[in-house]
Structure formats: structure tokens, C-alpha cells
Chain A
Amino acid sequence: MPIYEQSYREYDGELRHKYRWVIIIQQELRVLIKSKFFLMMMLFAMLHVILRLLQVTAYDVIAQDPNSPLALAFSQIADFAVDNLLFFDFIRIQSPVVFLVVLFAGSGMICNDFNNNLVDVYFAKPITWRDYAIGKIGTLVLIGLVLTAVPGIILVGVHNMLLPGLETVKESWVWIPAILGFSLVIILPCVTAVLASSALIKSKNFAAISIFMLLMANSAFGATLAGVLRNPNYFVWAFPLTINRLGQVMFKDTRLIFQTHWMWSLAIVAVVTGVSTLIVCMKIRRAEVA
């Protein structure tokens, strides 16, 4: 008969963090930050931000100064002004970078956990599938916002600081919701689609390739349809252009490529985001509730 010393005491400390998904976001970010390739991609994405920062500074400090010899030269440059179109173009140009970064960070996020049986380890802890799903989606949304909305809003702030006045505030405050809205329109379908691919496909690389090929095929399909039927409105079926259409609405850009009502574009984005989210949730929930 063994003699047990009975010194063991169960954990009696206070439980913190009602929202465990915050912890999952922190953990995922820590894991990503350890990747040199990820950091390089983020730094590369920041080059564009620096260029725009220089543009805003040059416009506000030099071009607005009537005594500056460069003012006239700057005023000749097309799309140099700090206006709604600058921020629209900034986020539009960031969108392929966002896609690539999210593809790198997210394509293995779920499939690796499944392959490594880490899902069992997670769900053996008192966290729910909702915490897990929100944590994974939240991580990628946060990364996307760091590349689009956050620098965009900072640029608006810099513009207001360099060109202080009520006129600037009145003109620029509307850009902030537009920046945030357009960023989310780019990020949400991208994030959920990448995670859906990661939940459906066992290999990180195949998940990334699949979603990349799907986007290429979709763009080619939209362009072919518009070309064959000789109607640019069919461009709405090309996902990058349909997102672009929503950005144009938000930033009141009149340089329209096609005339299809923006509600169609919103519906397409909503369906892609909704279906992808559903796939992610179902796959995770199935792991928890078999």
C-alpha cells in the first residue's frame, strides 16, 4: 500500500481574463513577430507609409508656402494634393501587401493547429471555440489594420498638425471613417477567406496557394466576362475591383471603372466574408464538438 504525502493542492488563484481571445491574439502575435520573414514583410509595407508621410509633409510645409520656390513645382505634380484621393490611393496600394501578409500569417494558423493536435490542447483548457475563432480572426484583422487604417489615420493626424486650422479639420474628419471602412472592406474578406482555406486544407502552403489561385482566377473571370460581353459592369465579379468600387464610394472618387451599383459590390464582399466566417466557425466547432 503506497503512502501518499498528500501535499498537493489544486489551483485556488483568481481567474482573470474573461475575454480569452485577447490572450490568443497576444500569443499569435508573439509567434509571428518571431518570424524574420514576417517582420521583413511588415517593414516593406511600411515603406509606402514613409513615402506618403513625406508627401503629406511636402504638401503641407512646402507646397502651401507661397514663398517657397518649390511650391509651383509641387503644384504641377499630379495627385500630389493631400485630399480624399490620396488616402484612397494609399489604402488601395496597400491592399496587395495586406493580402500577402495575411496570406503568410494566416494560411497556417488553423491547419497547423489541426495537424499538430493543438486544437485538443486548446479546448482541453477552459476556452471556447468562439474565443479561438475570434482570437485567430482578430490577430489577422489587427495586422491588416496596422498596415492600412492605423497609418492612414496617423497621416490624417500629421496633416492636421502640419496644417492646423478649422478648415483642415472640417475637410479631413470625414476621411477617418472612410479610411477605417475601406480598410475593413479589404481586410475582413481577405482574413476570413485565408482562415477558411487554412481550416479546409491540411497544408499551410496549399492553403496559401489555393487562395492565391482563387483570387487570380476570379480576377481573370471578371475581366474575361467584361471583355467578352463588352460591358465593363461585369468587372463587379472581379473581387479586387469590387472592393475598389466600395472604396470609391467611401472616398467619393468619381474615376469609376464600371457603373454597377455599389450595393452589388457590398453584397459580394458580405457573402464572401459571411461564407468564409461560417466555414471557419464550423470547422473549429467540429473540432470541439465531435
Chain B
Amino acid sequence: METLIEVKTLSKWFGEVVALNNLSLKIGTGVTGLLGPNGAGKSTLFKLMLGLYTPSRGAIEVMGHNPRNNLDCLRKLGYCPESDKFYENMTGFEFVYWLNRQWGMSRKEATHSAEEAIDIVTMTDRMDDPIDEYSKGMRQRIKIAQALASRPALLMLDEPMGGLDPQGREEMFSLIRRLGDEGRSVIVSSHILYEIERVTDNVVLLFKGSLLAQGRIREIRDLIDRHPHTITIQCGDPRKLSQHFHNSESTMNLDFEENALIIRTRDPNDCFTKLNQLYIDKSEDIEEISCTDDDLQSVFKYLTH
């Protein structure tokens, strides 16, 4: 596997805050998940890869080159940031088009490329609507489109599933998998193991700016499977929803709060699949799903203690 990113004893600090601490790793082609809780240094690592930050110590190489002030290197990268605020009165097409133009494309190429990228993220029918009329999922997709439009060698997606509803997440998983299947190299960050598991089995685990683990997701997953997961579901009728889970072997415990069902399970994967299906079928009134310890905190606790 060709090495795209090579990080050598990299540290980055902002004043007294250490964002990355003596990090060394290699990321190859294919889809890679960058996992870590908030503050682990995922976004900082992305910005170092883009050359937006200078390393405080150590070095980073992107496709064999230092990315700092390296416009040739930037041409090969597509970046989708976490934030989803834009020029609200611009249409989705205009947003992608103008960024293509800034990238260096001619009018014709920028138009063609924007339309192509928007088609990949299945936003063609809404591309001429102003961005302020877009849902969260549409905003995420148009952000990905601007990163895809220049057909980069490496695509970096910073928390692309953030704030999406279950259906939006499913669409995003499918999009990232499709990008990977086409042979694109993608680095996707998240703080939720389950999300990464749906798109790749190759992960880098960051914790407090340091590398905790790197490799196949199954090996890391085994660590968390020994601990039960807590999943909180906000819904209209928790007791009715609980009927779908109380016979499951993996369910350890069911709790009820006001308009919420709390499930402790040994198999969160099975639980999420069931919940997604219930949401898509609209057989249950599911408003929000939060995974109290699916944010890798338990695996981090396990690995760090």
C-alpha cells in the first residue's frame, strides 16, 4: 500500500495546550478512519496535513512533500471541514463553482466539475437553491462536493456525520463507501466508532494528541465489545420501542426516562441496525439517538488504564 501521509514525531501546541504530542504514523491509500474523542487532535492533524498549521516539532509529509506553502501539494487534496456555515445566500452550485475557480479551473471546467461533484453527492435537484434552505445533511453533502470537485488524490472529511439524523448518516456511510470503492483515498474523522466501522475497517485512534492504536477495526473493536454500551433513544413511546429489544440476547438492561429509552447492550451494532431500520420504516417515533459510551470513551479508558 502506497504511503500518502507520513507523520514523524509530530507535535503541535497552542500556547500551553498540547494538541498533538509526539505523533508518528503512516496513512496509506484507501479509506482510513481517524478516531478520537473531542480534543484528541483530529482537526489539528487535518490542518497540519493541509499545511494550514506549522508543526511545533517534528515533520509531516503528504505524498512525499512538506505541505506548508506547497500549492502543488494542496492541488492534490480535498478538504471538507467540520463547520457547515457558508455564504448563506449562495446556491450550492455557486459555492462549489467558485471554489473550483479559486482552485484554478476555467469557467467551463469549473461548471462541469461542480455539476459532476454535486451529482456524486446526489444534490443535483437542489443545487440551484440557496444554501440557507438546505438541511444539515444537504450542507454536509455540498461541503463534500466542494472537496470532491477538484478530483483530489486524497480526500479529508472532518466529522462528516456530525449532526445528521439516522437516515442522513446512512446516506453518508453509503457515499463514503462508494468513494472508497471507486478507488479514492479518503481520511474520515469521527469520535464514534460505529460510524467509522460502517465505512472502513482501517482506523487510526487518537487520544489526547497521541496515537493510541492503528490497524484493523475488528482488533480494536474486540476491546470495546467486552464492555456493555449505553444507548439513549429519545422517542414518543419508550415502552413500545422497548418491545423490539427486550428479547434480544445482547440486551443487558432496559431503563426508562421521560420520553427516553436507555439500552445497555453487548452488541451495539445489532442495536443500531435495528434502530435504523425502525427509523426508516417509520414504525417508531424516534427523535434522537445518543450513544453515551459509543464515543470510544470506554475503549480509551480500557487502553489508557
Contacts and interface: CB of A to CB of B under 8 A. Distances in A.
Contact of A31 (B76, B89, B101, B180): B89
Interface string A1-28: 0111111111101111100100110110
Interface stretch (B50-58, B219-227, B229-237): B50-58
11 contacts: A3-B181, A5-B181, A13-B109, A15-B105, A16-B109, A27-B101, A120-B81, A122-B102, A125-B74, A125-B103, A288-B52
Given A5-B182, A20-B104, A125-B74, 19 more contacts: A4-B183, A8-B182, A11-B75, A11-B113, A11-B150, A16-B109, A24-B102, A30-B94, A31-B89, A118-B85, A120-B50, A120-B79, A120-B81, A125-B150, A126-B72, A126-B75, A127-B102, A287-B52, A290-B53
Contacts of A290: 14, 47, 52-54
Interface of A: 2-11, 13-17, 20, 23-24, 26-27, 30-31, 34-35, 112, 115-118, 120-128, 131, 287-290
A122 B76 CA distance: 15
B253 interface: no
Given A4-B181, A124-B52, A116 B104 contact: no
B151 interface: yes
5 nearest interchain CB pairs? Answer: A116-B85, A124-B79, A117-B83, A15-B104, A11-B151
**Interface of chain A, main secondary structure:** loop
A8 B150 CA distance: 12
**Interface of chain B, main secondary structure:** loop
Interface of B: 14, 30, 47, 50, 52-54, 69, 71-72, 74-79, 81-83, 85-87, 89-90, 94, 98-99, 101-106, 109, 113, 146, 150-153, 180-184
Contacts, number: 121
Contact of A4 (B75, B86, B151, B182): B182
Contacts of B87: 31, 112, 116, 118
Nearest to B78: A124
B98 A121 contact: no
A16 B113 CA distance: 14
A10 B76 contact: yes
